[in-house]
Amino acid sequence: MFLNQLYQKLVSLPLKFLVSSKIIPDNPIDELAIDTQSPIYYVLQRRSTSSFLMLQQAAKKLNLPTPQIMPRNTEKIENGTVFFLQSKAMFGLGGKPVKKYQQLLEKLIHEQQHQHDVNHQLIPVSIYWGRNPGKEKSLLRLLFTDTESATVLRKFFLFLFQGRNSFVRIAKPVNLQTLTNNTNSNQSTATKLTRTLRVHFQRYRRAAMGPLLTERRHVISSIVNSDIVKNAIEREARAKNTPATKVKLRAEKYAKEIASDYSYKMIRISESLLTHFWNKIYDGVEVHNAEMVRQLAATHEVIYLPCHRSHIDYLLLSYTLYHEGLVPPHIAAGINLNFWPIGPILRRCGAFFLRRSFGGNKLYTAVFNEYIFQLMDRNTPIKFFPEGGRSRTGRLLHPKTGLLAMSVQACLRGLRKPVAIIPVYIGYERIFEGKSYLRELRGGEKQKESFGQLLSIRKTIKKSFGKVYLNFATPVILNEYLDEKRPDWHKHKGEVNAKPGWLTPEVTCLANELLERINASATLCSVNLVALILLSTERIAIDKKELENQLELLLFLGNKARYSKQTLLPKESPAQLINRAQKAGIIYPVKNPMGEIVSTDEKTAILLTYYRNNILHLFITPALIASHFLNQQTIHQKHLVENLQLLYPFLKKELFLHWNDLGFKAHIEQHIEAMIDCGLLLRQDEQIIKANNNQTEFTKLLNLAEIASPTLLRYGIILTLLSTHAGKGNIQRQVLESRSQQLAQRIAGLYSLNAPEAFDKSLFRNMVSVLKDNDLIQVEDNNSFSVSGDLNQLHHLILNNINIHARQMLQKTANWADQFWESNH
């Protein structure tokens, strides 16, 4: 015992000066539901003095029981006892189960059986010396990378080179009570538990480190020499009467253009630089549901699908995953980012590049398909953006399904692990690209990414951009999804590039569901909440007390009729939210003898539409309910629900709402009850009545209704154009979409904020699609439209739900525009 303690003291000296470890997760007691009032025991995979000492340091930081090694002659299992599963490795050999600890486990299981009121917690703890998986066929890997069986010499090098990059990964406690409910003997239960824990440690190590790295030239060679690419080369050679050797060289060129060149060294350098960068420009990155991801990454091939708000997304998610104890994913990046010096850096950080359009190039498609399959088959995590490009309006864009289809095809072909697709919500209090987004929406050309553009960021990074919110949404387990939607998908297992008839429509449905899950995981913050309210006022100004009241209302509705369990609301008070928004520079106070006014300038107000649109879907339902009381005192609840259900197909397509018809009906009724609870509405039998005009609640109701006004006005533009055109012959789809956009821009320029919605063609295109899908307009042979009689009901509903001034303005501008187009025809 004395020699053991002496050895621990000797090891603790270099550990103290050379090693600084990070605990994962940051707050394991809360995140993992560790009961600090019940006995706690630790499990380490191997008997190792350095790992034991690092565990002691971590336990001290977390105020957990001090880890201790059982003395030889003591049978009592003390609180804090450490169990070692395997013996210490000598010269790379060893790893046999330790008989002593097997017997202790049996005893602990026996104690749990006879102490039903005590929860004995067995916590697995993994120690990672760095995160370098090492390269295949590399001699340096034997010295400088962490393994499960490091010798004393290797540990010295790990202390020296990886000491400042070590991690202590604490896992969820094993529930011994469930293990003791079976009829097996204590010995067999302990053996089974030991095997389970060994598998646990192996899986979590793989999730943290990733697979061994393959030399890029070997990756390219394996792609070009795969059967799928060989066949594509032969077809291309025959079709174009070109020598196969020449086509093969082109395939190699494509593979080099695509493939990443992942480098752990570059990851470390980037991590260090980004830590400084984030600390300089952001107040912090708030991460949610990371433990769910860690558990999935241990057993699944993981594909991350984040929304795309900013170029920062590329780096932020990878950086966050690294700090959450997970291997950074390989990232699908547009070829536009492959410029010096960013392209080579991104490539070594795991980026692989793809062209915006494959343009019918079957050889390029085959090479890219094979690359995706090989990444997934090697259990390499992947990240791509389902929207394709960055959103310029703050709304989710409609998905591009190419990469998702390739992922599904890889699953059909057969992978070693099931596939988990994890949608990710990323929200910024302020984004870098706000000004450029607005310029592009107004018709300005998108600036090509270049080194010169990179240098211009120097001015930007001197500003503060508030907080970043990253929320991992409910995952889709692809194998289970296919089992539910297409039970016959197993027929295609093993097929290369399988294209069953259901593939395209099913991938489209899957893509929409993934975006719905992103929206369901939205995070509310000071900026998007204040933007939502401020932009609903007539002059982009509001009394500070009234702003507090309106924030209080939104937080009440958000809690009482929560959009989703994954939606995150702020914990700050309304006054604190206002102060934070003021600190972010999006609003400023205006002194007034009758009370402080909160306002902003027009330029900032236009940018605020971006942040408002991040969360518009969360409050569109209560806003539409409120809009029904702009022009009437009372309405039957049944009619109110029916009216909103009539609008739902348009809302669902535009805002990626996640309910089916019954779910949306229930959500409407939840909001009606919540609005009655807070006094905005009253109920008399089945009639819903608005609050008295003299009450504060009536002002809140009007402000809430204005949130829906831009959406209803946009719908009204198309319907008014169709109504005005009725009886004058058909109208071409492109003409309708173009004229709707022109009319929106004129209304915005004359009467309201010149917001991005007026310039976003996709919003008008979406509504035309929904009108067509619901048979409210019929498509003729020449791709022109005729109008259904049912369209008038929808048109009447929308006009009734906007204020009189907006209705008159819309009709006046539409009549003027119709005369203008007639005279210029």
Q: 569-584, pLDDT tens digit by residue?
A: 999 999 999 999 999 8
Confidence of residue 534 (pLDDT cuts 50, 70, 90): very high
pLDDT score of 288: 96
Region of 95 (left: φ > 0; alpha: ψ -120 to 50; beta: rest) is: left
Res 103: pLDDT: 85
Average pLDDT over residues 135-158: 57
Where residue 768 falls among pLDDT bands split at 50, 70, 90?
Answer: confident
What string of DSSP letters covers 685-737? Answer: TTEEEEPPTTSHHHHHHHHHHHTTHHHHHHHHHHHHHHHHHTTS--EEHHHHH
Distance of alpha carbon 2 from the chain centroid: 53
**Better-scored residue on pLDDT, 271 or 329:** 329
Name residue 224's amino acid: V
The pLDDT value given to residue 67: 94
Asked if residue 104 has pLDDT above 90, the reply is no
What average pLDDT does range 614-635 have in this prediction?
95
Residue 728 has pLDDT above 70, yes or no: no
Output b/e per residue, 750-769; b: 16+ Cβ within 10 A: eebbbbbbbbbeebbbbbbe
| Closest C-alpha among 294, 306, 310 to residue 332 | 306
Domains 217-520 and 709-823 belong to one CATH topology: no
In the 8-state DSSP scheme, what is residue 594? T
Phi/psi of residue 583, nearest 5 degrees: -65, -35
Cα–Cα dist 792/722, whole Å = 10
Q: What is the pLDDT of residue 754?
A: 61
CA distance 711 to 704: 13
Confidence tier at 197 by pLDDT (50, 70, 90): very high
Q: Which residue has the higher pLDDT, 482 or 69?
A: 482
536-540, 614-618, 683-687, 737-741: least confidently modelled range: 737-741
CB 485 within 8 A of CB 479: no
pLDDT at 491 over 70: yes
Average pLDDT on 708-713 reads: 91
- Contacts for 808 with CB less than 8 Å, ≥ 6 apart: none
pLDDT computed for residue 11 by the predictor: 67
pLDDT at 190 over 70: yes
Most confident of 466-480, 679-693, 779-793: 466-480
* Residue of 716 and 17 predicted with greater confidence: 716
Q: Assess whether pLDDT exceeds 60 at residue 140.
A: no
Per the structure block, which two tokens stand in for 701? 């109701």
As a whole-number percent, the residues of the chain with pLDDT over 70 amount to 88
Query: Poorest-confidence range of 110-119, 295-304, 500-509?
Result: 110-119
Strand, coil or helix: what is 225?
Answer: coil
CATH entry, 709-823, from 1.10.357, 1.10.10, 1.10.3470, 2.20.25: 1.10.10
798 with 712: CB under 8 angstroms? yes
Q: Is 513 helix (H, G, I), strand (E, B) or coil?
A: helix
Q: Where are the domains of the chain?
A: 2-209, 217-520, 526-706, 709-823
Confidence of residue 724 (pLDDT cuts 50, 70, 90): confident
> What H or E segment, with its residue span, contains residue 403?
helix 402-413
> What is the model's pLDDT at position 92?
46
Return the pLDDT at 152. 62
Minimum mean pLDDT among 123-137, 235-249, 633-647, 726-740: which range?
Answer: 726-740
User: Which CATH number applies to 217-520?
Assistant: 3.40.1130.10
Question: Mean pLDDT throughout 99-120?
Answer: 86
Task: Tally the residues of the chain.
Answer: 825
Rg (CA), the chain: 30
Residues 412-456 have pLDDT tens digits of 999 999 999 999 999 999 888 777 776 765 556 666 655 555 555
- Which is more confidently placed, 315 or 370? 370
Cβ atoms of 289 and 471 closer than 8 Å: yes
What's the pLDDT tens digit per position in 34-85?
A: 999 999 999 999 888 888 888 999 999 999 999 998 876 777 888 999 999 8
Q: In the predicted model, is pLDDT for residue 727 greater than 60?
A: no
- pLDDT class of 356 with cuts at 50, 70, 90: confident
Given a cut of 90, is residue 221 above it in pLDDT? yes
What pLDDT score does 694 carry?
A: 75
pLDDT of residue 132: 78
Supply φ then ψ for residue 787, to 5 degrees.
Answer: -95, 135
Mean pLDDT: which of 270-284, 396-410, 762-776, 789-803 is highest? 396-410
Distance CA(788)–CA(390), nearest Å, equals: 36
pLDDT tens for each residue of 457-481: 555 666 778 899 999 999 999 999 9
DSSP letter assigned to residue 90? B
For the whole prediction, is pTM greater than 0.85? Answer: yes
Furthest CA-CA distance within the chain: 103
pLDDT, mean of residues 617-643? 95
Q: 509 or 734: which carries more pLDDT confidence?
A: 509
pLDDT band at 255 (very low <50, low <70, confident <90, very high): very high
Higher pLDDT, 521 or 389: 521
371 phi, psi to nearest 5 deg: -65, -45
